[in-house]
């Protein structure tokens, strides 16, 4: 997809009123990262910080995500793209409703088509159930690669859940190592970048 098409996508998302989340949002949180990335991360929906800034995963959970990404040579500045299932904040951070997820689906599908990632990582239960399998059990199936629609998909624990339950950090980190190994195997254009 050409750069101008991304501009059009951001502009169209910015005007979206396909569901009631449009009434309470401050910003539409479309996505961030390298549109040519071979790896895409998908979260659930913007929280308060994301809604105010217009960028996904910029609050406490986002900082933890950035740290875990950096440890395996990944970052939104270089080699991944990050988006959410819903682009507008659900009030009081409630789960996005099925109809809100459905209304937002065309935007996410356009992003996935444009990026054409080899690997999609779903952060948390809601994203994994939406993208991989409605019966996905994130505590049981996290870290497993599942082939779907010609891509590899993996569910991971949501970074906000790790903040609530810090003894899950090592389990979560192991999934990033599994991801790094798969990237080395199949993502021929991805250069891992480690902070100095």
Minimum CB distance to ligand URA, residue 188 (Å): 29
- The burial class, CB within 10 Å (0-12 / 13-18 / 19+), for 149 is exposed
46 binds ligand URA (CB under 6 A): yes
Instruction: List the one residue from 38, 50, 51, 100 that touches ligand URA (CB under 6 A).
Output: 50
**Which of the stretches 45-53, 104-112, 132-140, 168-176 binds ligand URA when contact is defined by CB under 6 A?**
45-53
Site for ligand URA in 124-183 (CB under 6 A): 160
Q: Are 169 and 160 in contact (CB under 8 A)?
A: no
What radius of gyration do the chain's Cα atoms show?
A: 16
90 binds ligand URA (CB under 6 A): no
84 binds ligand URA (CB under 6 A): yes
Indicate the residue among 41 and 187 with the shorter CB distance to ligand URA.
41
103 binds ligand URA (CB under 6 A): no
- List residues binding ligand URA (CB under 6 A): 43-47, 50, 56-57, 61-62, 84, 123, 160
């Amino acid at each position: 997809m050409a750069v101008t098409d991304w501009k059009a996508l951001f502009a169209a998302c910015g005007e979206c009123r396909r569901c009631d989340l449009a009434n309470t949002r401050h910003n539409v949180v479309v996505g961030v990262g390298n549109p040519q990335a071979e790896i895409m991360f998908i979260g659930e929906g913007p929280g308060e910080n994301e809604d105010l800034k217009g960028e996904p995963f910029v609050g406490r959970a986002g900082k933890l995500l950035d740290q875990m990404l950096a440890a395996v040579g990944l970052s939104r500045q270089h080699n991944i793209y990050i988006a959410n299932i819903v682009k507008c904040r659900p009030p009081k951070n409630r789960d996005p409703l099925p109809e809100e997820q459905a209304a937002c689906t065309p935007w996410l599908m356009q992003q996935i088509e444009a990026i054409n990632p080899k690997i999609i990582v779903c952060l948390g239960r809601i994203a994994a159930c939406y993208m991989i399998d409605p019966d996905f059990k994130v505590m049981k199936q996290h870290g497993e690669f599942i082939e779907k629609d010609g891509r590899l998909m993996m569910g991971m624990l949501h970074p906000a859940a790790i903040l609530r339950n810090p003894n899950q950090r090592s389990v979560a980190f192991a999934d990033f190592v599994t991801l790094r190994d798969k990237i080395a195997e199949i993502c021929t254009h991805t250069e891992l970048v480690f902070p100095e």
